[in-house]
Amino acid sequence: MKKGIVYLLGAGPGDPGLITVKAREVLSRADVVVYDRLINPRLLELARPDAELIYVGKEARLHTMKQEEIAALLVDKAKEGKMVARLHGGDPFVFGRGGEEAEVLAAAGVPFQIVPGVTSAVAVPAYAGIPVTHRRFASSVAFVAGHEMPDKGQSSLDWPRLATATDTLIFLMGSGNLGFIAEQLMRNGRDPQTPAAIIHRGTEPAQVVVQGTLANIVEKSRQAGLKPPVITVIGGVTTLRPILQWFDNRPLFGKRVLVTRTRRQASALSKLLIEEGAEPVELPVLEVGPPPDWGPLDKALGHLRNYDWIVFSSVHGVGHFFQRLNAKGKDARALGGAKLAAIGQATAQALEDQAALRPDLTPQDYSSAGLLAAFKDMGVAEKRLLLPRALEVPPELERGLRGLGAQVEQVAAYQTSTPKEIDPEVKNRLLKGEIDVITFTSSSTVRHLLDILGKDGASMINKATVACIGPVTSRTARDMGLRVDVESEEHTIPGLVEVMAEHFQRR
């Protein structure tokens, strides 16, 4: 039987980008992932599709599993010959239970390894623009567990020594005890006017920072309605925040943005949104599959050498065209002397990635209108053009090419459909008006989201900022009763994110 092993992993403080390279590698190979309450769900996407995911989250007065049960679970899974990834928030050895779990594993003779993580004690203040040490303000720092109950009798903390021991004090997990902490520090010699800051959900798009002094930070926290998880920083370093603030002053910070692209395509847009400070909320509203009848495309594939141009208007068109070509036992050599046109840089890149081909024409204006203008300048009268496109694509491009005198054959290479199941939690957030921006990257995404939402869909969508990738998508949105607030001139995903950022900066 294969011998099992347990990896105690630090997941970092919340931003999924802060997980270490080694932790990512372990997650991608693990048979079992055991994870805590504050783990970013995106990290679970790094696990194998067939991995067993076990939630053992704990919060005040509500434990999914007792600590002893969690440790026993790790032992049992390892003894089954499994590779177990035990995912701790932050670092497993900084106010985590990793040390206790390692002791149990060692006593049971179970092999284990420790993969340190980025601790929230340092990362969260950094994301708030607060260095924990600074040459002018702090040469020493102390990390303190803030969840010690004030009514437990004898405190394990030496408050007279702790209050003035270091320049910076950082309390983790102390939301409910903030009043007790402030009182003990002031009673034992810390100046009530010492600058202080509380950071809620640090490193995440929902981050909130409240600044004050030791004397008033409790009241300011109460007025702001801050709830766990929070980290409290006490010391002169907190006064640097107005100068060093960087994370929460990005143009899309805190905006919840609905991403309606297919599941495979969503990540590219989501990554750019995260870089600008937004929280992407993915709700793929369409699925892409084969057309109902391969006949027209197969017929075209049988005489590709007869075409002067093959025009690709989407990444999906490229993918399905070459998948079908390969299924027929052919490769790119079957294209003969046909020239290739691609609308958009992403479509051009798909040609290069999937068939090692570079288009002969990519119009500067990434749109059907841009392609028509380019072909008008070149002259395509009497030329034979093949357009492998979506089944339900609008007819403007085909009509425009015929108007230039071209002989056009448009065939369905794929079709889109509304997913049978969507994430009910995301749909509920949309229904409750918790989405700030809704993005549409094609006319199909507009139609399918409205189909999902039903008769009141337009009114729900219009409560948010509506952002469209170009004039064709915007026209579809307006025709279907939507208000378009943002439209990108550059019809690309980066262009869409850029114009959204500009929109909110102006506001």
Which range, 242-246, 331-335, 396-400, has the best average confidence (pLDDT)?
A: 242-246
For 105-150, give the DSSP string.
HHHTT--EEEE----HHHHHHHHTT--S-BTTTBS-EEEEETT--T
pLDDT above 80: residue 263 = no
pLDDT above 70: residue 153 = no
Low-confidence winner among 78-87, 233-242, 366-375, 398-407 (lowest mean pLDDT): 366-375
Could you tell me what percent of the chain has a pLDDT over 70?
97
Going by pLDDT thresholds of 50, 70 and 90, the confidence category of residue 152 is low
Tell me the CATH architecture of domain 122-249.
2-Layer Sandwich (3.30)
Residues 107-122, mean pLDDT to the nearest whole number: 97
How long, in residues, is the chain?
507
Residues 235-246, mean pLDDT to the nearest whole number: 98
Helix, strand or coil for residue 460?
helix
Q: Where in the chain is the domain with CATH 3.40.50.10090?
A: 256-286+420-506, 289-417
What pLDDT digit, counting tens, does each position of 309-333 carry? 999 999 999 999 999 999 999 999 9
Is the pTM here over 0.75, yes or no? yes
What pLDDT digit, counting tens, does each position of 209-230 carry? 999 999 999 999 999 999 988 9
pLDDT above 70: residue 150 = no
Residues 261-268, mean pLDDT to the nearest whole number: 81
**Average pLDDT of the chain to the nearest whole number:** 92
Question: pLDDT at position 151, please?
Answer: 54
Please say whether the beta carbons of 220 and 243 come within 8 A. Answer: no
Question: pLDDT at position 265, please?
Answer: 79
Which range, 129-133, 420-424, 454-458, has the best average confidence (pLDDT)?
A: 129-133
Q: Where in the chain is the domain with CATH 3.40.1010.10?
A: 5-118
Tell me the CATH architecture of domain 256-286+420-506.
3-Layer(aba) Sandwich (3.40)
Phi, psi of 293 (to 5 degrees): -140, 120
Question: pLDDT at position 302, please?
Answer: 93
Pairing of strands 112-115, 83-88: unpaired
Q: What share of the chain is helix, strand, coil (3-state, %, to 5)?
A: 40, 20, 40
CATH top-level class of 5-118: alpha beta
Please say whether the beta carbons of 284 and 419 come within 8 A. Answer: yes
Please say whether the beta carbons of 231 and 171 come within 8 A. Answer: yes
Q: What is the largest CA-CA distance in the chain?
A: 92
Residues 149-157, mean pLDDT to the nearest whole number: 63
Active-site residue numbers? 36, 58, 173
Residue 314 C-beta-side C-alpha neighbours within 13 Å: 20
pLDDT above 90: residue 369 = no
CATH code matching the domain that covers 289-417, chosen among 3.40.50.1970, 3.40.50.1110, 3.50.50.60, 3.40.50.10090: 3.40.50.10090
Question: pLDDT at position 154, please?
Answer: 63
What is the 8-class DSSP label of residue 261?
A: S
Residues 322-350, mean pLDDT to the nearest whole number: 92
Low-confidence winner among 115-119, 154-158, 462-466 (lowest mean pLDDT): 154-158
Q: Where in the chain is the domain with CATH 3.30.950.10?
A: 122-249
Could you tell me what percent of the chain has a pLDDT over 90?
76
Distance CA 444, CA 427 (A): 18
pLDDT above 90: residue 1 = no
Distance CA 483, CA 458 (A): 9
Closest CA to 114 of 99, 136, 132: 99
